[in-house]
Amino acid sequence: VEVLVYDPALKPGGLGDIPVLDSWEEFQDRAEVIITNRLDGTMPETSTPVLTRDIFGRD
């Protein structure tokens, strides 16, 4: 399993050997599934499956 992180605020190499991507397009092209701690209006639309534990839609 390859883990990718999308975070425009982190610098490349900021998480050691885990790739940090600052391009949403590249991230969703490379990701098979997106895992997020919450869904909100700032996450761009994607056709990639999204898994979250945000069961109330507020956290």
Residue 59 belongs to a domain: no
Give residue-wise pLDDT tens across range 2-12: 899 998 888 87
CB 47 within 8 A of CB 29: no
Residue spans of beta strands (DSSP E) within 2-44: 5-6, 20-21, 34-36
Q: Does any domain span residue 22? A: yes
Flag whether 33 is in a domain: yes
What does the pLDDT read at residue 15? 87
Is 6 or 55 the better-scoring residue by pLDDT?
6
Closest CA to 5 of 37, 47, 40: 37
58 inside domain: no
Overall number of domains in the chain: 1
Q: Is residue 26 part of a domain?
A: yes
Which domain, by its residues, includes 18? 5-52
> Is position 30 within any domain?
yes
Cβ neighbours of 38 (radius 10 Å): 13
Q: What is the pLDDT of residue 26?
A: 94
The model's pTM is 0.73
User: 25: closest CA among 45, 10, 2?
Assistant: 45
Structure confidence at residue 31 (pLDDT): 93
**Per residue in 13-46, pLDDT tens?**
778 889 999 999 999 999 999 888 877 788 888 8
